[in-house]
């Protein structure tokens, strides 16, 4: 096989493997439902509400100045209970939202002197990976493309520097 054709074929293999890998990693989201929570927020304190929701959750609320809403994953909840630290993404204005996969709790931080009732809307989505099996041929194509590139490199070095097999040298 000529070197130019071999290089072109190996690049086609590598590009098609990258395309298949990107397609395999593309998720699809299905809307599952919507929940509305009424949270009684304590004054000048944090309010923790445990959640039992599976999937990707988008939370919005009618937050005004002085109210912050956080969705917490398992690790973030443990960090909050241990050190009191909260993640950076939060809802602190009307129209904002925060997204988490499989949240276990939400925390509402209030700076008001009076109790507040907060309406939290949760939109729940389920994630599917319908093309995940395409990662198997993508892996095979990438191995074949890299193998073909190395074969071409060895052929080039052999022709350039006159590399011969060790057994052929002794027989001559």
pLDDT in tens, 32-50: 999 998 888 888 888 889 9
Distance CA 115, CA 156 (A): 77
Instruction: Indicate whether 106 and 145 sit together in one domain.
Output: no
Distance CA 42, CA 109 (A): 9
User: Which of 10-14, 57-61, 141-145, 164-168 is the least confident region?
Assistant: 164-168
Query: Over 70: is that where the pLDDT of 114 sits?
Result: yes
pLDDT, tens digit (0-9, with 9 covering 90-100), for 72-86:
999 999 999 999 888
CA distances to 3, 94, 106 from 60, in Å = 59, 8, 11
Instruction: Indicate whether 109 and 121 sit together in one domain.
Output: yes
91 in Cβ contact with 122 (< 8 Å): no
Query: Over 90: is that where the pLDDT of 144 sits?
Result: yes
Instruction: Indicate whether 49 and 86 sit together in one domain.
Output: yes
pLDDT average, residue stretch 2-20: 89
Instruction: Indicate whether 124 and 40 sit together in one domain.
Output: yes
Q: What is the largest CA-CA distance in the chain?
A: 98
Q: Residue 14 sits in which domain range?
A: 3-25+131-159
Instruction: Indicate whether 65 and 143 sit together in one domain.
Output: no
Query: Over 90: is that where the pLDDT of 24 sits?
Result: yes
119 in Cβ contact with 37 (< 8 Å): yes
Whether residue 35 lies inside any domain: the answer is yes
pLDDT band at 7 (very low <50, low <70, confident <90, very high): confident
């Amino acid at each position: 096989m000529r070197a130019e054709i071999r290089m072109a074929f190996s690049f086609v293999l590598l590009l098609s493997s990258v395309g298949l890998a990107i397609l395999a990693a593309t998720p699809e989201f299905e809307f599952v439902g919507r929940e509305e929570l009424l949270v009684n927020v304590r004054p000048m304190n944090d309010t923790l509400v445990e959640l039992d929701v599976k999937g990707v959750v988008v939370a919005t609320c009618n937050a005004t100045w002085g109210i912050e809403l956080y969705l917490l994953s398992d690790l973030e909840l443990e960090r909050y209970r241990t050190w009191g630290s909260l993640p950076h993404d939060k809802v602190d204005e009307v129209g904002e939202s925060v997204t988490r996969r499989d949240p276990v709790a939400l925390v509402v931080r209030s700076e008001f002197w009076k109790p507040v009732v907060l309406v939290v809307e949760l939109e729940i989505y389920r994630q599917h990976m319908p093309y995940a099996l395409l990662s198997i041929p993508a892996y095979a194509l990438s191995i074949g493309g890299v193998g073909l590139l190395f074969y071409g490199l060895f052929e080039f070095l052999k022709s350039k520097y006159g590399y011969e097999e060790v057994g052929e040298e002794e027989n001559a």
